Amino acid sequence: MKKISISALIVSLFLSTSLFADGHGEVNIFNARHYKADAELYDKFTAKTGIKVNLINGKSGALEKRMIEEGSDSKADLYITADAGRCGAFDAKGMLQGGLTSAAIKSAVPKNFRTNKWVGIAKRARIIYYSPERVTGAELSGMTYEGLADPKWKGRLVIRKSSNIYNKSLVASLIANNGKKATAEWAKGVVANMARPSEGNDRAQIMAVAAGEADIAVANTYYLALMLSGKKGAEQQEAAKKVKAFFPNQDGRGTHMNISCAALVKGAPNKANAIALVEYLLTPEAQEHFTNNTFEFPMIGGVSPSPLVVNNLGLDFKQDLTTKVSTYGKNQAAALEVMTAAGWK
Amino acid sequence: MKFNFWYISSLAISLTIIIPIFTVFTSFFEDTSNYFEILKQTFFLEYIFNSLILLIGVIFLTFFLGVGSAYIVSFYHFPGSNFFKWALILSFAVPPYIYAYSLFAFFENYGTAFTILKFLFGEGNYNKHIPKFSGMFGLILSISFSLYVYVYLLARSSFLYQSQNLIELGKNLGFSKFRSFYTIILPAARPAIVAGLSLVAMETLAEFGAVDFFSVNTLTTGIYNAWITFDDLAFANRISFFLLLFIFLLFITENLSRKKARYHLEAKGGFKKKEKIKLNGLKSFFAFSFCFILFFLSFLFPLSQMLYWTIKFPENFFDLEIINLFLNTLYLVSLSSLVLIFFALISNYGNRVSNKKILNILSTLSISGYAIPGVILAIAFITFIAWFDENFVKSFGVVSIKKLFIGSILGLVTVYFIRFYSLAFNGIKSGYEKMNICVDESAYLLGYSKSKTFLNIHIPYLRNSLLFVVILISLEIIRELPITLILRPFNFETFATTAYISASEDLLEAAAVPSLCLIVIASFFILLTSKYILRVDNE
């Protein structure tokens, strides 16, 4: 008797979740961006449209794998991640479908930041940070990504590991512009210039410059703004003030831009809702929310970045709009190969 | 009929648990992509080398910390010795990944150490003088401070059961304390210590969160990367194969040592209650300091770092749906405990009443899941389900079973079941072993049916063991990361996954609140059972 009641209890405990309604008013996101600001935006979207947003959070690689293994049984509608290379590579595996072609999307997002399967929702630039005490204006003048391999930076550069996706995308864009062979040489030069073997996240690179461990660092734009905002505490706010931002390749193709993208997953059970959510994320209201909280650059015109970004990093810089972000995905494996071959940890 | 039931249920349990091993071994001969060739040269050796360094470092440190502290608290009286006896287990509540977050945040440039120095001595460039704990060294520390508890517990119980005669023998021979320890006490406790160290080694090889955080490439993260970055499940399984070979060696070592780990001499009546030596002056100060520093570093340090952040950035506290996370954790814990205990009882009872050799073999097979790292289990499980679905279920035209098992509570609990079955099985087994078979026979003579014997005699008798098993399972599930991360359903987070997600986004401050909750809940569970864990004292 007891056994039976225990089994009944077990069965009912299982059923309580597996009977999840596959209702109409929802959209399922495989989400690799975990900013509080994003969650707030999804709440606003639900309040506006009545469409419930279901999230499964994780790192992009693991999320992609799960969607692939689930195959046609996947409930995934949208895949949101913070790197264009990811969306491109996922598309190459045949996991996405077209449909992000509404007028609202097309008019909002510049061509090189979207395909019909995935769309950029916010931008970030990967730039150089330097110590104004130890790096002169003359040294930096005309500085490019290519110049990071210049022997004059020997023992003065910090950058994170080669496994990091932002680095993969940056190096992929260099391969697209300069070819694989030249980039392989470049990677060797960069490794020779490192002040220490790569470690830590982007913020740690900026702090290494502030603390005097290195003179220049490569990191994304929003990290400095995040530190300056005081959200990381007073000490890091002070540290951030010791570092200045520099936008490379201004005389040429412009600074390397990356995007956070939303991709429409093949077989999405709630396709219309997914498109509606993407359209919402591209409204001025949502874009302003992004810029003020995650300190990214807006994807659409007419919205300005956070004052913290504008005042400290400057707004008036030339973005690389010629290198298609879709090449980041295509060259990802080659990028990792040249970095690994160069001994980039 | 009865025989069939026990046989079938034991077989079913073993089959479920064997799934991942089966999957790994069958994929071993599959072709891998050309990445394998590139990787073989660059990464593979690094994976093996790093895993070895990590293993050696952790074993060395946990041996020193675990045996040292166990020796001091078991043989000596000093201020606080009764407190440290149980307080030293508390560090088990801090999983290695949370320790890693604390370590990193305290020592990073402009981190907590910097803040403290600035507060004490005013402005200054302290960063240069603050040691940096990242990479391999930080990883070894993080894992050791969390796992030394295994060695401590096993060494301690072995020390406590060592006959006073042995110790007096040393005295009579005129040995110094150090020499007695080195030549008598330590060798006598060796099986227990080896068992503890093997457990530590298995957990170290299985560790995912901390390894991932410090981005050290070990075999375990190598498997994960081969699967995720290189898209090469066959290669992932091939690395798993090597790792599993490694682990089975440890598994066998642990099992053999445990069998030898008898805590008393054969001679009857020779057991004299041990008198603890009272320490005075400098010696007592050293003993106290060793224990206090260990307690501080392993438990108070991560606890205060997380508490400090929670207070410094209170907005994170209010943003987190703590009740929800708590309920999710509770839900997983209670469901898994029920399922695990239900099957472990059936299996143990089956072994008891039918006493068939084949059942014994099956149950030995079924406890192997604990040795397999969670990452491998989860990946192998997904692979298996996808394969099974493709080749069997679909060809019969039945609806897909993927939805049922991937991204569902059912799948999650199934894999927990595979991983933690040995905890439940062995816990109940040790309860049963203390209960003589005559008890059953007397019950039958009194006219009790088998089921009545089970319900009215076995269950009440096993109550303590059951409670202990539930709490062990709860502790493991609260801290569990990779399985939950890979297999959980939509909108379903636990404290562990929330902490991990925040940390992976460079939001360690936000990881503090879930980490703190995790530590507090786990500590509560540990305190609840500390009497039981330390029960050798009461005998």
For chain A, how many structural domains are there in total?
A: 2
In a domain, A266, yes or no: yes
Q: Residue B259, class by beta-carbon neighbours within 10 Å (0-12 exposed, 13-18 middle, 19+ buried)?
A: exposed
Place of tokens 């200045």: A244
Q: Residue A343, class by beta-carbon neighbours within 10 Å (0-12 exposed, 13-18 middle, 19+ buried)?
A: middle
Residue numbers in B near A196 (CB within 8 A):
none
CB of A135 less than 8 A from some CB of B: no
Residue numbers in B near A236 (CB within 8 A):
110
- The reply to whether A33 and A55 lie within a common domain is yes
pLDDT of A82 > 70? The answer is yes
Structure tokens at B272: 């004299």
CB A175 within 8 A of CB A333: no
Domain range for A9 is 2-123+258-306
Give Cα B204 to chain centroid, integer Å: 9
Which of A67, A58, A4, A62 has its CA nearest to residue A33? A58
φ, ψ for residue A314 (rounded to 5)?
90, 150
Domains of chain B: 1-19+315-493 (1.10.3720.10), 31-312 (1.10.3720.10)
Residue numbers in B near A203 (CB within 8 A):
506
In a domain, A117, yes or no: yes
Average pLDDT of chain B, as a whole number: 83
Residue window 305-334, chain B: list those with CB within 8 Å of chain A: 312-313, 319, 331, 334
pLDDT of B357 > 80? The answer is no
In a domain, A311, yes or no: no
pLDDT category at B261 given cuts 50, 70, 90 is low
Average pLDDT over residues B173-186: 80
pLDDT of residue A9: 54
Average pLDDT over residues B283-306: 94
pLDDT of B412 > 60? The answer is yes
Residue numbers in A near B125 (CB within 8 A):
211-212
pLDDT of residue A80: 94
List the single residue in A54, A73, A204 with the smallest CB-CB distance to B400: A73
CB A74 within 8 A of CB A81: no
pLDDT of residue B263: 47
pLDDT of A7 > 70? The answer is no
Give the span between the Cα atoms of B500 and B503, in whole angstroms: 5
CB of A59 less than 8 A from some CB of B: yes
Tell me which H or E stretch contains A31.
strand A26-31
pLDDT of residue B3: 53
Instruction: State pLDDT tens for residues B312-332.
Output: 888 877 777 889 999 999 999
pLDDT of residue B38: 61
pLDDT of residue A13: 53
pLDDT of residue A20: 44
The predicted complex's ipTM stands at 0.83
Give the span between the Cα atoms of B147 and B490, in whole angstroms: 32
Give the span between the Cα atoms of B367 and B484, in whole angstroms: 20
In a domain, A87, yes or no: yes
- The reply to whether A17 and A89 lie within a common domain is yes
Top-confidence residue, A93 or B293: B293
pLDDT of B354 > 80? The answer is no
- The reply to whether A191 and A281 lie within a common domain is no
CB of B538 less than 8 A from some CB of A: no
Q: Which of A62-76, B385-399, B403-417, B483-497 has the lowest mean pLDDT?
A: B385-399
Residue numbers in A near B454 (CB within 8 A):
none
Residue window 362-381, chain B: list those with CB within 8 Å of chain A: none
pLDDT category at B130 given cuts 50, 70, 90 is confident
In a domain, A11, yes or no: yes
Beta bridge partners of A220: A126
- The reply to whether A235 and A292 lie within a common domain is no
- The reply to whether A201 and A293 lie within a common domain is no
Are B489 and A61 in contact (CB < 8 Å)? no
- How does strand A244-246 pair with strand A257-264? unpaired
- The reply to whether A238 and A266 lie within a common domain is no
In a domain, A161, yes or no: yes
CB of A284 less than 8 A from some CB of B: no
Q: Which of B44-58, B395-409, B466-480 has the lowest mean pLDDT?
A: B395-409
Q: How near does any CA of chain B get to the CA of A209, in Å?
A: 10
> For an interface test with B, which of A4, A12, A35, A59 has the most B Cβ atoms less than 10 Å from its Cβ?
A59
Residue window 163-202, chain A: list those with CB within 8 Å of chain B: 163, 199-202
Structure tokens at A196: 């220490």
CB A194 within 8 A of CB A213: no
CB A261 within 8 A of CB A120: yes
Which amino acid appears at position B201 of this protein?
A
CB of A13 less than 8 A from some CB of B: yes
Which of B329, B376, B282, B337 has its CA nearest to residue B488? B329
Average pLDDT over residues B63-84: 91
How many other C-beta atoms can be found within 10 angstroms of the C-beta atom of residue B270?
12
pLDDT of residue B397: 65
Q: What is the DSSP letter of A134?
A: T
Q: What is the DSSP letter of B184?
A: I
Average pLDDT over residues B435-460: 86
CATH number for the domain spanning A91: value is: 3.40.190.10
Average pLDDT of chain A, as a whole number: 86
- Largest separation between any pair of C-alpha atoms in chain B: 83
Residue numbers in A near B342 (CB within 8 A):
3, 6-7, 10
Top-confidence residue, B231 or A65: A65
Average pLDDT over residues A276-300: 90
Q: Which of B212-216, B226-230, B327-331 has the lowest mean pLDDT?
A: B226-230
Residue window 50-79, chain B: list those with CB within 8 Å of chain A: none
Tell me which H or E stretch contains B473.
helix B463-479
pLDDT of residue B39: 56
CB of A64 less than 8 A from some CB of B: yes
CB-side neighbour CA atoms (13 Å) of B508: 26
CB of A206 less than 8 A from some CB of B: no
CB of B383 less than 8 A from some CB of A: yes
Which amino acid appears at position B190 of this protein?
R
Give the span between the Cα atoms of B140 and B53, in whole angstroms: 9
pLDDT of residue B214: 87
- The reply to whether A217 and A322 lie within a common domain is yes
pLDDT of residue B328: 92
Are B335 and A161 in contact (CB < 8 Å)? no
pLDDT category at B292 given cuts 50, 70, 90 is very high
- The reply to whether A277 and A236 lie within a common domain is no
- The reply to whether A325 and A302 lie within a common domain is no
In a domain, A312, yes or no: no
Chain B residue whose CA is closest to A332: B229
- The reply to whether A183 and A251 lie within a common domain is yes
pLDDT of residue A206: 92
Tell me which H or E stretch contains A79.
strand A78-81
Residue numbers in A near B229 (CB within 8 A):
61, 163, 336
- The reply to whether A52 and A147 lie within a common domain is no
In a domain, A64, yes or no: yes
Chain A residue whose CA is closest to B341: A6
- The reply to whether A267 and A178 lie within a common domain is no
Helix (H, G, I), strand (E, B) or coil at A300: coil
pLDDT of residue B42: 67
Are A207 and B108 in contact (CB < 8 Å)? yes
